[in-house]
Chain A
C-alpha cells in the first residue's frame, strides 16, 4: 500500500499556540486573582472552562454548516467528512459544556438541574445534532448520506441558533448576567478575568479544531485505502476476464 500523502510539519504555529494557551488557561485560571462576589465566590473560575465550551461548540457547528453548503455546491467528499467530524467534535464540546455547567450549578444554584432556559435550550440543541448522527448512520450509500445529511444540517443550523440565542433571551434565566443576577457582562467582567477568559476561548476552540482535523485526516486516509483496495480488486477481476 503506497499511498502518498503530503508531508506536513507535525506542529503548525497555531497548534503550538493552542498548547501554550491551554497551559496558561489551566494555570492562570486556577491561580490568578478573581473578583470576590457573593454566592459565586471561587466558582467564578468556571467561566474559564464552561463558557469556552459553548464558544467552541458554536464555532465547530458553524464550520460544519459551511462545509455542508460547500458539499451541496460541489459534491466533494472532503466537505462531507469535515461536516460530520465538526458535528462530532461540537457535540462533545456541548456535552462538556453541559457537564461543567451542571457541576457549577450544583454549588451555586443548589441543584444539578434547575430547568434553566439555557440548560433546556442546550439539551434541545444537542438533540438536533444527535438526530443528525442517527440520520448519517441510517444510509448505506455514501453519496446519498452526504447529500441528505448536508441538507438536514443546513436546515438544522438556523434552528439551533434560534434555540440557543433567541429563545433563552425571552424569559428570565438563572444564569449570571440574566434576570438581575450578578454576572459577567460588560461592566462585571473585569480586566483580570478577561486576561484569562479570552485566551481560554481561543485555546479550547483551537484544541477542538485540532482534534477534528486529526479525525478528518484519519477518515480521508481510510477513504483512500478503501479506494485503492477497490481498484486493486477490480483490476484483478478485469485481468481475470481478459485471460
Chain B
C-alpha cells in the first residue's frame, strides 16, 4: 500500500515535470511525425506490401520508444537523483518510471499509428487485435527500455549504450509483436495469435519482475 501510494506520487511528479517543460514530449512527437513522413517520402508512390508496411511501422515505433525512454534517467541532474534517493524507495522509482513511460508510449504509439495510416495506408483487417497489440508493445517497450536506460545512464557515452544494449534485448519482443500484428493485418482468428500473445505477456512480466528486483542494486551506485 505504502509502495502504491509512493509510486502514484512519483508518477504524478513525472507528469507535472513533463507538463512544465513540454519540450520533451513535443520533441518526441515531432521525431515520430518526421520519421513517418520521411518513410512516406522515401517510398514515393509505390504501394507497400503488408509485411513491409508492418515491419516499417514497428521499426519506427522502436526508434521512437528508444529515444523517448532514453531520457528517463538522463534528463534530470545527478543532484536531483540524490534527492530522490533520500525520499523514495528504488522500487517506487522504477515502477513509476515504467508506468509513466508505458502511458506516454501508448499515446505516442496510437498517434503514430494514426499518422502512419493516413500517409501510408492501412491494410489492417482486424483493428481490435492490432490496437491491443500496439498497447502490449508500448507496455513491453517501456518495461524493457526503462531498466536499460537506467543501466546505460551509468556509463559514459550513454546514448550509444542505450541503442546497443536495448536492440538485441528487445528482439524477442519485437519479433512476437511483428508476428501478432501480421496476423491482425491478415485478419486471422484470435486463436492463431493467442499463444504468441501469451509468450509476449510472460516475457513482459519476467522483465518487469527483473527490473523490480534489480533496480535497487543499480540505484545504490
Contacts and interface: CB of A to CB of B under 8 A. Distances in A.
Contacts of A140: 156
Interface in A136-155: 138-140, 143-144, 147-148, 150-152, 154-155
B8 interface: no
B217 interface: yes
A229 interface: no
Interface in B188-220: 195-196, 199, 203, 206-207, 210-211, 214, 217-218, 220
Nearest to A129: B168
A interface, by DSSP: helix, strand, loop or mixed? helix
A94 to B, nearest CB: 13
Contacts of B203: 159, 162
A166 B173 CA distance: 12
A155 B147 contact: yes
B58 to A, nearest CB: 16
A134 to B, nearest CB: 6
A167 B175 contact: yes
Interface in B125-159: 147-148, 151-152, 154-157
Contacts of B217: 72, 147, 150-151
A161 B203 CA distance: 11
Given A162-B172, A167-B172, A155 B167 contact: no
B199 A154 contact: no
Given A72-B217, A163-B172, A170-B196, A148 B167 contact: no
Contacts of B147: 155
Interface in B79-108: none
A158 B204 CA distance: 12
A170 B195 CA distance: 10
Interface in A96-145: 124-125, 127-128, 130-131, 134-135, 138-140, 143-144
Given A138-B156, A154-B214, A167-B175, A148 B221 contact: yes
Contacts of B28: none
Contacts of B195: 170
Contacts of A139: 154-156
Q: Which of A131, A150, A154 has the most CB of B within 10 A?
A: A131
B171 interface: yes
A127 B218 contact: no
Interface string A53-83: 0000000000000000000100000000000
B161 interface: yes
A159 B172 contact: yes
A202 interface: no
A135 B161 contact: yes
B161 A138 contact: yes
Contacts of A170: 195-196, 199
Contacts of A125: 168
A158 B218 contact: no
A158 B206 contact: yes
B151 A135 contact: yes
Given A135-B161, A152-B151, A163-B172, 5 more contacts: A131-B164, A140-B156, A147-B218, A147-B221, A152-B148
8 nearest interchain CB pairs? A127-B168, A138-B155, A128-B168, A124-B171, A131-B165, A148-B154, A131-B164, A151-B214
Interface of A: 72, 124-125, 127-128, 130-131, 134-135, 138-140, 143-144, 147-148, 150-152, 154-156, 158-159, 162-163, 166-167, 170
8 contacts: A124-B168, A130-B164, A131-B168, A134-B164, A158-B207, A159-B172, A162-B203, A170-B196
